[in-house]
Amino acid sequence: MKKLISNPLIVALDVDTDTEAVKLADNLQDVAGGFKIGPRLVQRYGQTLSLEIARRGSLFIDCKFFDIPSTMESSVRACFESGASLVTVHALSGQEALSRLASVEKELNSIRPFKILCVTILTSFSEEGLPPNLKSQSIKTHVQDLAKLVKRSGLDGVVCSAEELELLQNQNLFLVTPGIRFDLEEKGDQKRTMGPGEAMKKGASALVVGRPIIQAKNPREAAVDYMVAITQKK
């Protein structure tokens, strides 16, 4: 049976054109475990590009759906029909929405490997930058509470920063971690970052890496460097 992803490295295709995205996917398809696209490309090129990328590796559609339950369900189904193996929703959408999505995931996963990933607190947030309605407790506590909600709802896919990985161990969760950087790399707008090897040691199931690979002089070499670090957990 086909795997959800072939290895833990998911490359974020954070580019502006379908030509750039397909070129990167062609170049990296035997190194990357999957490819992530978000609204930047989905809004411009829709299902046509999604299916193209899905032919080159496991497709992760990252639009972070946060809406009423019926709209979220329809959106997730549309992503599946567009070739997605992984789809993000916000854990903050609540018990009713997540429970309904757990039933959708079970149904779609019987057709081919498919997982809904629930976003906890974005890696662009620091404690000081949290919205006012989230400031009464720490980011780590928010993430723990949201992960418990996800599990209670019947899902097991969680997106969190590497700083929260150790808190979520031994809960049978599939933990996807963005904000992955080698020490000397530019962090950009990511606040809670960590190196690939350390994140894997702390329990990540998959890592999302974008700019350090796709903006490198040689994206393929950069991807290989990340895979070596992931494999050796260094």
Give the residue extent of every domain in the chain. 9-232
Quick one: DSSP state of residue 167? G
**What is the CATH architecture of 9-232?**
Alpha-Beta Barrel (3.20)
Distance CA 87, CA 104 (A): 12
140: annotated active-site residue: no
Query: Region 145-165: what's the mean pLDDT?
Result: 96
Cβ–Cβ contacts within 10 Å for residue 45, how many?
17
In the structure, what pLDDT confidence band is assigned to residue 131 with cuts at 50, 70 and 90?
confident
Catalytic choice (2, 3, 36, 64): 64
- Report DSSP letters for 100-116, one per residue: HHHHHHHHHHTTS--EE
27-82 pLDDT, tens digit per residue, is 999 999 999 999 999 999 999 999 999 999 999 999 999 999 999 999 999 999 99
User: What is the per-residue pLDDT for 57?
Assistant: 97
12-34 average pLDDT score:
97
- Spatial separation of the C-alpha atoms in residues 222 and 96, rounded to whole Å: 41
Q: How far apart are CA 116 and CA 210, in angstroms?
A: 20
